[in-house]
Each structure stands twice: as C-alpha cells, then as structure tokens.
Structure 1
Amino acid sequence: MPSPLTRTSSILIIGGGTWGASTALHLARQGYQNVTVLDSHAIPSAISAGNDVNKIKGWHNSDPASSSSSSSSSSSSGQGSNAGEYTREKIACEANEAWLQDEIFKPYYHETGYVIAASQPQHIQNLYEEEKPTAEKGFEELNSAQDFRNTMPEGVLTGDFPGWKGWFKREGCGWVHARKALVAALLEAERLGVKLVTGNPHGAVQSLWFDDDDDNDSDNDGNHNDVRGAITADGKHHLADRTILCAGANAPQLLDMKDQLRPTAWTLAHIQLTQEETALYKNLPVLFNVERGFFMEPDEDKHQLKICDEHPGYCNWVTTTDQNNKNKKISLPFPKNQIPLHSESNIRLFLHETMPHLSTRPFTFARMCWCADTPNRDFLITRHPEYARLTLGVGASGHGYKYIPVIGKYIVQAMQEKLEPSMQYTWRWRPETAVGRDWEDVQGRMGGSYKVLNLAEIGDEEWTCIGGAEAKL
C-alpha cells in the first residue's frame, strides 16, 4: 500500500505539456509542496501538441445540470448511460468559465466568433444534426459564398466556397493562444513552488522506476509491484510518493496501455503575412470546415497564419514484440517539422476555396502534431488498477487542449481518489474496450482521404522541405 497522501508528499509529473502543466498548476494551488515536472524539452516543449500559436475554443450551450438529473438517476456508481454525457458537459462548462475568469488563462482567450461548415450534403446534414446550430442559439445560416465572405473584413475571404454550407456564431466562442497559455500555467506553477526539470538528459524520462527493479522483488508471474518514480536519461532515479503520467502520445512507450491509446498525428502549416495583412486579419472568427480544415487570425508576434487540413489522422505503424514475444502492432510517434505532401496539397485546396490569393504562398513552417486516441475518445484519467502510486492523465484524443484551465484539477482528484462517480466511470482504465481494436477507425473524423493514413508508407521524397531543413517554432 502507498503511504498516505499529504501536502508534503513527493509528486512526480512525467510530461510538461498541456495536461502536465495543468496538473502541476492545480497541485500547487492546492498547497502541495513537493512537486516536480520532468520533460525532455525546455518549456514550452517542442513536441507538445499544446505548443501552438492557437487552438479553437468552440461554443458551449449546455448545462451539466440538464444531464445531472438523468445521470444521478442511474446507480450511485455513476455507471449509467449518461455518465459520459454528464462528464463532458461538466468539464466543458468549467473550462469555459475558467477561460473567462482565471487570471492565468483569460488573457489568452479571444472571443472572436466561429464559422463552422461542411461541403458534401451528407456531412452538412450530419453537422446540423450534431451541433443543432439554430437561430435561438445565436447562429446565422450561411448559404452562399458571399455569406461566408461577409463574416470577415473585405479582402480576407476571396474564394468561391464551392458546395459550402455553414453557420456563424458571433459570441461565446473563438480561439486561445495555446503556447502562451501553456507557458503561463507552467510559470505560475513554478512561482508557487513546482520544480521544473527539463531538457535532455536531465528531464528525459527513459522508463518508469518500479519498486522491484533493484531487488528482483517482482511476483511470480513477472509483474511489477508498484511504481517508485522515473529514471531519466542521465541515469538519475527520481523517487516519488506518487507519479502522474501525462506523457501524451509517448505514454505507451513508458507503460503498457493495453491498446487503449493510439498515437495519432495531425498536420499544420504557417504562411507569412505582411504587417498590413496581419492588421486586416486581426480579430477574425475561426473558420472551420469539417472536411477541409480551419484557420484563425495570424500570430501577432511573427505575423504568420496557421492553417490545418482536416483528416482522420496519421499513424506510424511498426511491428514490435510484447512481453510474451508475440508480434504487436503499434503506432510510434516521432517529431517532425515537415508534413506529407498529401497534406500540403489539402491545405492549398482549402486555401484555394477560401483565400485563393494565399494558396500559392510558400510555407514558412510546418509540423506533425501528435496526440493519443482512446477507443471512444473519452479521456483516461484514473489511478492505475495495478500500481497504486501511479495516476494516469492521458488520452486527450484530439480535443484535450481547451480544458487546460481545469483538466489538472481532475487529474489531481483521480490521484486523491475523489473523482465523482460519473467521471470516475467515464475516464476509467478500460482495456476491455480495446480488445480487437479497429486501428483504422476514423472516430467520426472527416476530410483528406477519409481514412487513417500510415506514415511508414510515405517516402522521404514525399515530405515538404521548408527552408531546406527542419524549420523551428
């Protein structure tokens, strides 16, 4: 059994990205005095999905109370069919409030509005049924190219928007400056006493440190007893009363996740704008076509416009062996500041339909952005069932950044065993859901080739070559 948890207990967070930063901040705010974050990169981590100029913050119209009654009407264990709905509603409401009120995060939220659209009739219908963008909720219907152009200043949207239909919501949504909010969270945590150990080798975790690693005290079937901490590339053993794994797409390299995580990458590129163009593009609403891609206003520091193409994602499939020497298929993430030419083509198609005056402009930066999908895209936030001192905060599933103001609170609650039942059930350790997992599942995502692509099948010559070398953030 682990020692009782106190405010002086040593707590080790593996990963200083979005969820690791949020966890560190909430631990510090709750008065924990001995918290250390390990990350292989200086802050902000170059491989963190949250190290980005902007992220979408969509609207949220629901109240968790609407699903609370139905959730509570199920068993007290929170295992009713509404547990997931209640959990998603609750954290969305709390995150929305935090972006507006939390002094650390609110400077980075830009309430500029949101245009959401699709191109093919079936996806337009699906979008309407899923989002229910009615006038009563503040949406304006967009049916023509001119309707779309009118959502932004003249000269921004110049495309023909072929087949597009969408809706415009002016209030209650927009975007957040992801990198600045991430850095702000880490710096505030550090100010409150959290120790940041970053860079290679000192912050680069090579493995978890199990309590039987030194004395062969594992049980008869070779399983470990518990987690003592982590071992970094410099050979140092970091001992902790509690360890929290927030390693994102790299988590399966440190712990057998029983196929519950699929490391998946998405693609983005930047285009250089002039100062005059940056001024014109300031305070734009987000434009998101669920089949084509999205963009929002340019970065105010470098005057670069970020564009993402929409697709079900890339995996990097390799074959390895498991602990029983059986072949096992895994997606192995790797950092790369280039993107496949296939994605470049899709980004330029999106630009051609929306801003053709930018569609041939060279990219100044591009990047593979890695996350990790659970089978149902609900998070994995829980105490490990076998290792009592290990807590998991993983499985962001492509939609975890917007919760940075609050997600750490729930990871801390999982460590404390204080999650309310619906959340505990929704975010539980659930390997049974990954048995026979369909690794090609698009999980409701559209665009691109409408299938998950394999990076291992992309040749060296099928990548962008921006600046003739790996571009830098």
Structure 2
Amino acid sequence: MSDSAPSFKPPSTLLIVGSGVFGLSTAYALTKRPEWASTQITVLDRAGGSASIPQRPVFPSRDASSIDSSRIIRADYADPAYAALASAAQAEWRKPGPDSIGGDGRYTETGFLLVADNEPPLVRNARGLEVKSGMGFAREAYANAAAHARHSGREGDGNGDWVQPLDGREAIRNATTTGAELGDWGYLNRGSGWANAERAMAWFYEKVRRTGRVKFASGTVMRLEVDADQRRVVGAKLADGRSLRAELVVVAAGAWTPSLVDLRGQAVATGQVLGYMDITPEEQARLGKAPVLMNMTHGTFLIPPSNRVLKIGLHGYGYQNPTKVTSCLTVPKQHKSSSDFTSSGARKKAGEEHFPEIAVSQPLTHLDDPTLWMPASGERALRKGLRAMVPWPSVADRPFNANRVCWYTDTPTGDFLVTYHPYWNGLFVATGGSGHGFKFLPVLGEHIADNIMGRCTPILKDKWAWKEVADVEQAIVTEDGSRGGQAGLILRTELRKNGPRI
C-alpha cells in the first residue's frame, strides 16, 4: 500500500473511530511525533452519556471492554514477542505517583498464580488440528516469565524466586492463600498484578485531552463513507446525519469493528461473562492478599477484590451474537473476479455493492438492554470456577449480585490486527485485542503509530498483518492455549435457556 510506504507523509486530517485502548493510545502516540504536528486528529466514539447525565459524552463508552473494575497486568505469555511487549508495559505500570498510569492505586502488584490441569502440551481441537493446551501455554509462559525476571534482575528477593514453579496440588494450594487446589502444575509470578481498568482509562483520556491536539467527537457510526472510484475510505456517516471526513480513517472500535469493516476470517466479537458479588470486610482482608488466580485449562480467573466487591471471570471461547447488518464495508465481488467494479451501474448500487447485508457477531450489552443477565451456562462456569478458587462455604454459594457480558475482538491466533486494509485506501484497522490488549495501554500506541508510518518491527508487522483466509465463513476460534469452556455458543440461544438464577 502506498499509505504505508517508507516515504510516508502524514495526512492533513485523521479520524480515529473508537476511544478504547487501541484508539486512545494511538492518538496519544501521534501527538508526540513532530511529523504529525500539522495533522488534525479527531477521536470519535459512541460515548453514550451516563444514566445520571445522559447528555454528557463519556470516553470510552460505558460498555467498552476496557471499562471495568480490574484487569490483569502480566508479562506471562507463551509468545516471546508479547512477553517482551508486556514487560515493557509493566515497567510503566509500576512507576509510582499521580503522573504515572499505575500511580495512586491504579496498579497493584499482588502476584499472578497461573496453573493448568494435567494434560499434554498439545491437544487436538474439534477440527482435528493439533493446538496448544492450557498446560502448554502455562509451561511456555513460565519459561518466558522466568527469562524476563532474570533479565530485569528480579530473580529473587531473599524470600524466594520472583517466578516460582509449583509442582503439584499441595504446592499450588499453599500459594493461593485461599486453600484452593487449583490445578496440577503452575507457577507464581510475584512481578505481576492487576489494574483498576476504568480509573486507568479515565487517567489516560485526560492525558490525551490535555495535549490540546485531539478533538473528541460523540456519535454512533452508521457506516464508513467511501469514494468507490478511488477505492478510498473518506470518513464516517453518523446516525444523526452528520459526516466526519478525514484523509486517513483508523477504525479502532473494539468488538464493534467487525460491524463497520468486513473482518470475516480475521476477527470476531465474542461475549465473555463476568460475575460480581459483595463480600464482608473479613473476606476482603483475606482475599485482598491473594495473587491473581487463573486456571488456563478452564479459563476461569479471579482478581483480588477491592472495595468489598469480588469479581470472577471466564476467559473462554465466548458467545457469538450473529446479526444481519448493512453497515459493514466489504470488498466488491467484482474485484474478486477482476472485472470493472467502478462502472456506472456499480456506482448506482453503491449501497448494495459495498455494504451488502451480511451476518456478523455484534455486541449486545447492558446499554442495549439494562436487564441483560449472562447466560446460565456462563454463570454455571463462573460458579464452578469460584468454588475451585475460593473453597469457602461463605463465598462459594453466595449469589452474584451483578454481572457483565464483556466483548472481546477475537482473532484465530490471539494476535492483534493492526494494519492497512488490503483493498480500501485511507483505511487502517487497529483491533483484535483478543481479551488481552488492556495491559499494553502504556506502550501499544507507539507500535500502532509505527505501523501506520511503515516503521513497525518485522515481527509485530507480521503478527498483526491482514491474513489470507481460504474460507471467510469458517467460524473463528482462538486457539492460543489460553481459552477454556465450549466453543460455538450463540448468545441469544443460550439466553433463551436461562431459568432461575443460580
């Protein structure tokens, strides 16, 4: 693409659709680069107002995946590239003080206990392909975490290694502090922890706003606007009739990205369940000292509570919500057959040509339906995980009093999708967080900006590239060894099965 050539020239106007981790971090990175000093940067988000002040825009939107009480901050990856990138991000999270993203209690280093059940490192999936298991992920993550601990001089502090292998259920039970026999093998990384995601995003938004270089706009994108003759995206059409034009459009709308750009075969929106319950001061005191707990075989995780609210989640294959849309920008069929798609007849049918009705998994959140409650199948998985992680009678059977369906943007390999569109000029996509993008907030934008300017490191450029897909209709299942549960669940089908609360 000419847009990403070494002779890159920054556009005069830039529109970033989405103010989550990918969008905000990109905007901030570009404000620091002298080449972009003359570029008008606009960040657009649905940014629906709060319930108490509905007219006030809030960035990011209240149902964005980055808005939550807590997110795991770790460099524990089976992939060395992500382990290195997360290690660089952790260095920023650890910096103290109000001017640091992790300061003022936004980041807490409690340690991270990652375990798996006995299973071979490689297993066969439903399609008969050999893929990494939870145990395979855990052992490779341990090797990378231990290597980074040695490199950073954090091998030990007199009380044991920073990254300590745990062989057997008794060793794991002693490390949990909850008395849980959580798995068969794992390790404790004392150099990981968790962040208050909502507070960190609010801090980062203010950091971007104070640059004075970014305009924030509120509105729902109905579809991207295109110049078909030039094969170029030229802006976005909003639900209220407005059009925002830009020389370069970056779509970083998280799980809503596949509803605006055809990502079939590249990425899909999946709903992941989270459950919350109130706990007593005594339970808070005990659980607040625990490390983050995660079983990679089952995908359940528990983050130490704060403010007497316990949260448990499922990092699984998730639920899809197939929905017919006409908002998704596709590649014209004529292009695939090498015929002239810019004929007058095609231009007359631009809506049909570039925005046909297709089915995509589209987020359904509490802003769409305030009464939404997670599927009973997801609640059962959370309950099973809670009983395994906190085997206390007072907690194990206590009802959840709040829940959330958090929407990932999953890719087949768990790699991000950060690249120019292979067909449409003027369009760059930055998405595919796959449930692990938040921790990179302090450093991700610099790498996205490098990619926009054609300077990205070869390894990340390759990982984050647009992939060749033989069958775009084949369901996307993230097979990186980090997921648990059952694949192929449909949200609305499972919601119809909901019976009495458990």
Provide TM-score, normalisation by structure 2: 0.74
Asked if the contact 1:442–1:450 (Cα under 8 Å) also holds between the matched residues in 2, the reply is no
Q: Which runs of 5+ in 2 are unaligned?
A: 48-57, 121-132, 147-159, 334-351, 367-371
2:365 pairs with one of 322, 329, 335: 335
Asked if the contact 2:225–2:235 (Cα under 8 Å) also holds between the matched residues in 1, the reply is yes
Q: What do the CA deviations read for 1:95-147 (whole angstroms, capped 9, x no partner)?
A: 233323494423233221111112344467535543346797731415235x4
How much has 1:445 moved relative to structure 2?
4.8
Asked if the contact 2:231–2:423 (Cα under 8 Å) also holds between the matched residues in 1, the reply is yes
How has the CA–CA distance of structure 1 residues 279 and 262 changed in structure 2, closer, same or farther, with 3 Å as cutoff? same
Corresponding position of 1:317: 322
Residues 102-121 of structure 1 mapped to structure 2, 5 A cutoff:
103-107=99-103, 108-121=106-119
How much has 1:447 moved relative to structure 2?
6.6
1:144 pairs with one of 155, 166, 169: 169
- Is 1:23–2:20 an aligned residue pair? no
Secondary structure, aligned partner of 1:139: strand
How has the CA–CA distance of structure 1 residues 47 and 98 changed in structure 2, closer, same or farther, with 3 Å as cutoff? same
Corresponding position of 2:281: 275
Asked if the contact 2:264–2:473 (Cα under 8 Å) also holds between the matched residues in 1, the reply is no
How much has 1:167 moved relative to structure 2?
3.1
Corresponding position of 2:42: 36
- Is 1:206–2:222 an aligned residue pair? yes
Secondary structure, aligned partner of 1:308: strand
* CA distance, structure 1, for counterparts of residue 134 and residue 82 of structure 2: 24
Asked if the contact 2:118–2:185 (Cα under 8 Å) also holds between the matched residues in 1, the reply is no
* CA distance, structure 2, for counterparts of residue 327 and residue 10 of structure 1: 30
* CA distance, structure 2, for counterparts of residue 166 and residue 173 of structure 1: 18
* CA distance, structure 2, for counterparts of residue 423 and residue 448 of structure 1: 26
* CA distance, structure 1, for counterparts of residue 499 and residue 453 of structure 2: 45
2:491 pairs with one of 442, 455, 463: 455
How much has 1:295 moved relative to structure 2?
0.7
* CA distance, structure 1, for counterparts of residue 207 and residue 380 of structure 2: 41
- Is 1:100–2:119 an aligned residue pair? no
How much has 1:15 moved relative to structure 2?
0.4
* CA distance, structure 2, for counterparts of residue 39 and residue 391 of structure 1: 16
Residue identity opposite 2:304 in structure 1 = E
Corresponding position of 1:306: 311
- Is 1:131–2:131 an aligned residue pair? no
- Is 1:175–2:194 an aligned residue pair? yes
Corresponding position of 1:402: 439
2:422 pairs with one of 362, 385, 395: 385
Larger displacement relative to structure 2 (363-372 or 418-427): 418-427
How has the CA–CA distance of structure 1 residues 338 and 464 changed in structure 2, closer, same or farther, with 3 Å as cutoff? farther
How much has 1:433 moved relative to structure 2?
3.3
How has the CA–CA distance of structure 1 residues 89 and 442 changed in structure 2, closer, same or farther, with 3 Å as cutoff? closer
How much has 1:169 moved relative to structure 2?
2.2
How has the CA–CA distance of structure 1 residues 197 and 436 changed in structure 2, closer, same or farther, with 3 Å as cutoff? closer
Q: What do the CA deviations read for 1:269-295 (whole angstroms, capped 9, x no partner)?
A: 111123343233324310111134111
* CA distance, structure 1, for counterparts of residue 8 and residue 136 of structure 2: 47
How much has 1:342 moved relative to structure 2?
0.9
Identity over aligned residues, as a percent? 27
Secondary structure, aligned partner of 1:363: coil
Residues 150-161 of structure 1 mapped to structure 2, 5 A cutoff:
150-151=174-175, 153=177, 157-159=178-180, 161=181
Q: What do the CA deviations read for 1:52-79 (whole angstroms, capped 9, x no partner)?
A: 11111223599xxxxxxxxxxxxxxxxx
* CA distance, structure 2, for counterparts of residue 8 and residue 260 of structure 1: 27
Corresponding position of 1:347: 382
How has the CA–CA distance of structure 1 residues 408 and 296 changed in structure 2, closer, same or farther, with 3 Å as cutoff? same
Secondary structure, aligned partner of 1:312: coil
How has the CA–CA distance of structure 1 residues 24 and 100 changed in structure 2, closer, same or farther, with 3 Å as cutoff? same
How has the CA–CA distance of structure 1 residues 2 and 310 changed in structure 2, closer, same or farther, with 3 Å as cutoff? closer
Corresponding position of 2:402: 365
How has the CA–CA distance of structure 1 residues 60 and 366 changed in structure 2, closer, same or farther, with 3 Å as cutoff? closer
Asked if the contact 2:377–2:494 (Cα under 8 Å) also holds between the matched residues in 1, the reply is no
How much has 1:328 moved relative to structure 2?
5.2
* CA distance, structure 2, for counterparts of residue 455 and residue 439 of structure 1: 15
Secondary structure, aligned partner of 1:260: coil
- Is 1:192–2:228 an aligned residue pair? no
* CA distance, structure 2, for counterparts of residue 465 and residue 104 of structure 1: 42
Q: What do the CA deviations read for 1:242-283 (whole angstroms, capped 9, x no partner)?
A: 211101111121122243111112110111123343233324
Corresponding position of 2:185: 166
Asked if the contact 1:58–1:114 (Cα under 8 Å) also holds between the matched residues in 2, the reply is yes
How much has 1:195 moved relative to structure 2?
4.0
* CA distance, structure 2, for counterparts of residue 383 and residue 127 of structure 1: 30
* CA distance, structure 2, for counterparts of residue 424 and residue 15 of structure 1: 22
How has the CA–CA distance of structure 1 residues 259 and 448 changed in structure 2, closer, same or farther, with 3 Å as cutoff? closer
* CA distance, structure 2, for counterparts of residue 261 and residue 440 of structure 1: 7
* CA distance, structure 1, for counterparts of residue 472 and residue 421 of structure 2: 22
* CA distance, structure 2, for counterparts of residue 232 and residue 328 of structure 1: 20
Aligned CA-pair RMSD: 3.3
* CA distance, structure 2, for counterparts of residue 195 and residue 400 of structure 1: 22
Secondary structure, aligned partner of 2:175: coil
How much has 1:188 moved relative to structure 2?
0.5
Q: What do the CA deviations read for 1:148-169 (whole angstroms, capped 9, x no partner)?
A: 443355xxx255x37x223342
1:295 pairs with one of 288, 302, 306: 302
Secondary structure, aligned partner of 1:97: helix
Secondary structure, aligned partner of 1:294: strand
Asked if the contact 1:380–1:427 (Cα under 8 Å) also holds between the matched residues in 2, the reply is yes
Secondary structure, aligned partner of 2:386: helix
Asked if the contact 2:75–2:84 (Cα under 8 Å) also holds between the matched residues in 1, the reply is no
How has the CA–CA distance of structure 1 residues 90 and 349 changed in structure 2, closer, same or farther, with 3 Å as cutoff? closer
How has the CA–CA distance of structure 1 residues 205 and 403 changed in structure 2, closer, same or farther, with 3 Å as cutoff? same
* CA distance, structure 2, for counterparts of residue 310 and residue 360 of structure 1: 21
- Is 1:46–2:62 an aligned residue pair? yes
How much has 1:456 moved relative to structure 2?
3.3
1:88 pairs with one of 82, 90, 100: 82
- Is 1:12–2:48 an aligned residue pair? no
Larger displacement relative to structure 2 (133-142 or 413-422): 133-142
* CA distance, structure 2, for counterparts of residue 89 and residue 398 of structure 1: 15
